């Protein structure tokens, strides 16, 4: 899987979600307005005032996914929280926990390259890439984040 197709795929997915969420917000606001109308006995509502009120929401909902979809790599912490925390926070299926130095010490000895290799391939109960859609560089940053919270001292990988 090349880095380009991967990030294009992410970009489309993020835009699709952004649009869905924006539509959801508009539908929600419209529903609220009609409920308010019924409650107030059809008193006229100033559409300009409504626009002003929903503007910040609409702007934030659209701006955030656009920024994220710009092709910039996500941080290790972001990916960890989205894709790894489910197992590595709780230690489910014997996953070495974030911050558990004892569990991580023998793994840290493999070095970042060794850990990256096994994380890409998957290991026992851990699916390939932890089931995430991270690029190799993003996955490496995520391992650095995880390892350095657990007694490691790895350097952030250079972006490819």
Residues in contact with ligand HEC by the rule CB under 6 A:
79, 83-84, 86-88, 92-96, 107, 110, 115, 118-119, 123-127, 129-132, 134, 139, 142-143, 146
- CB 6: neighbour CB atoms within 10 A? 15
Q: How far is the CB of 75 from ligand HEC (least distance, A)?
A: 12
C-alpha torsion sign, points 128, 134, 137, 141? negative
Closest residue to bound ligand HEC by CB: 130
Nearer to ligand HEC, 61 or 144 (CB): 144
Q: How far is the CB of 143 from ligand HEC (least distance, A)?
A: 5
Cα 117 to Cα 3, 27, 49, 130, 159, distances in angstroms: 17, 46, 56, 12, 17
Nearer to ligand HEC, 26 or 81 (CB): 81
Q: How far is the CB of 11 from ligand HEC (least distance, A)?
A: 20
Q: How far is the CB of 117 from ligand HEC (least distance, A)?
A: 8
Q: What does the buried/exposed string (b/e) look like for 96-112 if buried means 16 or more CB atoms within 10 Å of the residue's CB? A: bbbeeeebbeebbeeeb
């Amino acid at each position: 899987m090349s880095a380009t197709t991967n990030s294009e795929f992410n970009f489309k997915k993020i835009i699709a979600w952004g649009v869905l969420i924006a539509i959801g917000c508009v539908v929600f606001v419209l529903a609220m307005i009609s409920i308010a109308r019924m409650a107030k006995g059809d008193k006229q509502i100033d559409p300009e005032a409504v626009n002003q009120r929903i503007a910040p929401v609409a702007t934030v909902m659209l701006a955030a996914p656009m920024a994220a979809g710009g092709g910039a790599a996500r941080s290790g912490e972001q990916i960890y929280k989205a894709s790894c925390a489910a197992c590595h926070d709780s230690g489910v299926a014997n996953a070495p926990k974030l911050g558990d130095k004892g569990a991580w010490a023998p793994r840290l000895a493999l070095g970042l390259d060794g850990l990256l290799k096994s994380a890409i391939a998957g290991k026992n109960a851990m699916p390939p890439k932890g089931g995430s859609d991270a690029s190799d560089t993003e996955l490496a940053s995520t391992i650095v984040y995880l390892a350095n919270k657990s007694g490691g001292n790895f350097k952030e990988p250079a972006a490819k």
